[in-house]
Amino acid sequence: MPSNQKTPLRCLLAALLLGVLIPPTRAETQSLETLLAYLKSPTATTRREAAKKLGERRVRDPLAVDALAVAARRDEAGEVRAEAMKSLGLIKDISALPDMLDGLKDGQKEVRGITVRSLVALYTEHDIDFITNQRKGWNRLNPFIDTDDHEIIEPYINVEPSIVSALGDTARSDLDREVRISAIRALGVLRGRAAIPSLADALNADQNVRIDAIRTFIKIGDPESGRFLVPFFRDSDEKIRNQAMFATGYLKYRGAVQPLLSVYGRGPETRGAMQNVKNVFSPITPRDRAALAALAMIGDDRAEQVFLENLTDKNAERRQYAVEGLARIGDQKYADQISRLLLTEKNNDAKLAEQWALYKLGQREQIRFIVPKLYSGQDEQAYGYLMEINSVTDLYPYARSSNLEVRRKVIEILGKIGDKSTIAELQPVATSSSAETADMATVAIKRIEWRIAGRPRASDEVLRKQTRPRRAANP
């Protein structure tokens, strides 16, 4: 066939192929009635696509919600039930909650897993892929735990108690481990304090969910939950026992101080010849690192002697944890000794810890060395220290820093720990800065106002329309 005849034929074939691969109408062009009709199709694929498109519309139409709820509960195809459940999470209509909770008892684990995710999606869709993913990476919130998730809802958000209760039951008793892990992670995102007893049961029942349970205890943030972790300080799994110790430190559970002291300094861990060799030459064993870090975070004077013993140790990690612990004890008698150490300190992390310790012990001017580290390789360390600021007013000048990254992080920190006076400080920043800085300040103000009020309110200052134009920032 001549080439000039092949080209139109190829175009025709391509057009026909595209017609097969691309749906004839997009979701937004299909009427609600059409999608509801497709949801009753005898073909499972058609029903699944209809359920998906109803979710993509995100319209809280009672007809759509009811139809999806029926499909999520009764459709014979698991793929349709799962897609309907996912769409209910996107639509966020609490009237469908009873049907969504029923999904936690579905016969297929895929549907139960999607149900967990959809219950979380009622409150947030940000960064929650980790709920059903494998763990990976490293996280600032807990460097001993190999997860890269960090999503937690704001403290002023009230989660329906039946959701926390149902997820707690799933975390404790679902037949599939992956679903149990998903439920455990979901409770962390939702700050499911009421489910702590169920998490404790899960922690004891299955070694393979312990890492996620510990992570969730940290997210919930109830100090008393640390009592469930103390028994694991001597767990046969090194990773679990070290993470349990770190978690009690992060929770600042003072009941863990004596148990931590009892496991600290016990010498090399003996789990095989290679492990012995490794620890003989290690300047700090994983167990001592976890125990000392936990004691430093708690900052209890019962550990004072341990901190003093490590204050001049050759190992920089030990020195860092020692000064952090003394800083949190808060006795100014340590200030002179730490000041002398600062003069000769060579390790950057230990030096930053010493500067922060001096700040905590009353030398407010030391903050000028800490804040700039927000724009450095020590940004996470500095961020954590500034979250424990003695007074939020010490950060106010840096909300106008000429360094955008420093300014952004300071405003973010103020949004998390600021009080009513912080709102007045940030309002000029929100109305007289560049768009990016103004947006950051507005979010920070919102977080403070809503945290104080306990919930978002339409009358909050941050939600009122500005009546005057925003001025350009100074160059």
Q: Are 186 and 149 in contact (CB under 8 A)?
A: no
For residue 471, the model assigns a pLDDT of 34
255-281 mean pLDDT: 67
- What is the rounded distance in angstroms from the CA atom of residue 113 to the CA atom of residue 183? 8
Helix (H, G, I), strand (E, B) or coil at 138: coil
Q: What is the pLDDT of residue 28?
A: 57
- If you write DSSP's letter for every residue of 403-466 in order, what string do you get? SHHHHHHHHHHHHHH--HHHHHHHHHHHHHS-HHHHHHHHHHHHHHHHHHHSS--TTSGGGSPP
Contacts of 262 by beta carbon, 8 Å cutoff, 6+ apart: none
The pLDDT confidence band at residue 427, using thresholds 50, 70 and 90, is: very high
**Per-residue pLDDT averaged across 236-252, rounded?**
95
**Exposed (0-12), middle (13-18) or buried (19+): which is 191, by Cβ within 10 Å?**
buried
Residue type, 92: K
Contact criterion met (CB below 8 Å) for 117 and 141: no
Q: What is the pLDDT of residue 132?
A: 81
pLDDT of residue 267: 63
Q: Residue 280: helix, strand or coil by DSSP?
A: helix
Distances (CA, A) of 16 to 119, 167, 403: 41, 48, 56
**73-99 pLDDT, tens per residue?**
999 999 999 999 999 999 999 999 999
Whether residue 276 is predicted with pLDDT greater than 90 in this model: the reply is: no
pLDDT score at 154: 87
The whole-number average pLDDT for the span 39-54 is 96
Give the pLDDT score at 275: 41
Q: How far apart are CA 70 and CA 374, in angstroms?
A: 51
- Average pLDDT for 153-174: 95
pLDDT at 49 over 90: yes
With a cut of 80, say whether residue 134 has pLDDT above it. Answer: no
Q: CB-hemisphere CA count at 13 Å for 112?
A: 22
**Quick one: pLDDT at residue 270?**
56
Q: Which domains does the chain have, with CATH numbers?
A: 19-106 (1.25.10.10), 123-221 (no CATH), 391-475 (1.25.10)
pTM, full prediction:
0.84
CA distance 136 to 147: 5
Of 357, 347, 289, nearest to 318 by C-alpha is 289
Calculate mean pLDDT across residues 189-215.
95
Q: Which band of pLDDT confidence, cut at 50, 70 and 90, is reported for residue 324?
A: very high
Give the pLDDT score at 127. Answer: 77
Residue 442 carries which side chain, given as an amino acid letter?
T
Higher per-residue pLDDT: 458 or 445: 445
| Residue environment code for 380-405, b if the CB has 16+ CB neighbours within 10 A, otherwise e | ebbbebbeebeebebbbebbbbeeee
Q: Given a cut of 70, is residue 460 above it in pLDDT?
A: no
Residues contacting 20, CB < 8 A, separation 6+: none
Which pLDDT value is given to residue 266? 77
Asked whether residue 168 carries a pLDDT value surpassing 50, the answer given is: yes
User: Which of 169-173, 385-389, 427-431 is the least confident region?
Assistant: 427-431
Looking at residues 303-308, what average pLDDT do you find?
97
pLDDT of 71 strictly over 70: yes
**Could you give the CA distance from residue 105 to residue 9 in angstroms, rounded to a whole number?**
54
The DSSP code for 137 is S
User: Greater confidence, 363 or 155?
Assistant: 363
